[in-house]
Structure 1
Amino acid sequence: MSLYLSRIRLARAPDTAALAHLLMPPEDNARIAAAHRLIWSLFADAPDRSRDFLWREDGGAGWQRTTFLVLSARPPEDLRGLFEIDEPKVFAPALSPGQRLRFRLRASPGASEMRPHGQRGKRIDPLARALRDLPREARGGERDAVTQAVGAHWLRRQGAGAGFRLAEEAEGEGGSRPLLRVDGDAWRVLPRDGGRPVRFSSLDFEGELVVEDPAAFLAALARGFGRAKAFGCGLMLIRRP
């Protein structure tokens, strides 16, 4: 399967600029909901089309500087002239076992409660559960450490089925820790026409990984990681150190 990586911005033409605050509202939740619709418009060639792309908002203050990075099975098509799209690049990284890569990932972690006899229960937010289990008076001081620990545990489990492991650095007394920073802990409530709001949390991961199975890793990059992939989560960006 071919993959394409595209860099996309709203067009700066006067007619688009006049609609900028409607197309990209300044409030975070409204902006993510609007961006979800905008990016879908680039791939909505049929009413029953399934999502075959991942995207994320990538920096920039104000709509003029906001950039979207999109990984897709098809090149985007701007039929309405709303965007500036750099020439999509074929995404086919040369990967090998043992290769180290830097990465960035915004993801919405999820886990399933385990029921008796190994049955899976309802989906939960592992970070929210871990923070809830702390004594109330400890939550503020422990939040960063818990976020780091829960995020690292979740990403290690992702890697076990996706052909990679987290790179680690040595610590004292023979121990090690992952080359990973976990930030964010953002909670999103997105409006949805005619339905209940979309609710999810997201974390930002940045660190270094080691490729173990190149084919499995590339397939996982195409699928994305975690939940809320239609809302700007799940796209892992990689580069050589």
Structure 2
Amino acid sequence: MHLTRFRLNTARVGARRLLSSPQMLHAAVMSSFAEIPAAAGDRARVLWRIDRTSRAETHLYLVSPAKPDLTHLVEQAGWPETGRWHTYDYQPFLSRLAAGEQWAFRLTANPVHHIRRTDDEPTKRTAHITPHHQLRWLLQRQEGAGFKVVEKPAEQRLVPNGDEHELIVYDRRQLAFKKAGHRGSVTLVTVTYDGRLEVTDPDALRRTLTHGLGKAKAYGCGLMTLAKA
């Protein structure tokens, strides 16, 4: 497994065009591989995420079974003379994960649920809109994903309900874009989570980090990364 980081040059039209369309960016990401890695069965898949920093920098993160070649992205959306990308061997880090460790994490996800208005109509996938339900969406999945979000000490909680965990949700985006072979536009709601977690099941967490969490993985959702807490 490999972890890659690439900084986009948002002053360029090519970068802004890619950032405006998850469909186009997905195609650009998959073009980074001579042979597209298969995602069938238990095989890890290509995951990607866009991060925007407080210094107005925009980075593309990739986790992939094969090592990517981002030359086309440097030429189209980077700095052709000086731009580079950085790829790291992810496996040593993954293999060292151990129960009880605490890490800061970031995840961009597509928090959805299935609803229906009447008993006789089929269920429909619908995005969670409020921060409360978006937070609950992640908390409901933490056990199966191999971690638990760290709880705050009681004296650090600012409100009686909804502030029990070291977890925030922000950067809500509603994206609408064309998809090949699809009539009309695809609408996607994404949010970003920052928080602190404790590893409870290293094998399950390794799977989360390499297979993603939630829906819309092809469109920049599901990639969780860890950093020192």
TM-score (norm 2): 0.75
Please, which of 203, 208, 214 is the counterpart of residue 202 of structure 2? Answer: 214
Please, which of 113, 123, 126 is the counterpart of residue 125 of structure 2? Answer: 123
Please, which of 1, 5, 8 is the counterpart of residue 7 of structure 1? Answer: 5
SS, match of residue 169 in structure 1: coil
How many residues get paired? 207
**Contact 2:19 2:25 (8 Å CA) reproduced:** no
SS, match of residue 36 in structure 1: helix
Match of 1:229 in 2: 217
- Segments of 5+ residues of structure 1 without an aligned counterpart are 12-16, 128-145
Report the CA distance between 1:122 and its aligned residue.
2.9
- Segments of 5+ residues of structure 2 without an aligned counterpart are 79-83
Percentage identity across paired residues of the two chains:
27
Please, which of 19, 37, 52 is the counterpart of residue 27 of structure 2? Answer: 37
Richer in helix (by share) = 1
Report the CA distance between 1:182 and its aligned residue.
0.9
Match of 1:25 in 2: 16
Match of 2:81 in 1: none
Match of 1:167 in 2: 150
SS, match of residue 175 in structure 2: strand
CA distance in 2, matches of 1:204, 1:113: 23
Q: Which amino acid aligns with 2:228?
A: R
CA distance in 2, matches of 1:59, 1:74: 25
CA distance in 2, matches of 1:233, 1:102: 18
Q: Which amino acid aligns with 2:6?
A: I
**Contact 1:98 1:211 (8 Å CA) reproduced:** yes
CA distance in 2, matches of 1:39, 1:28: 12
Pair member with larger Rg: 1
**Contact 2:110 2:214 (8 Å CA) reproduced:** yes
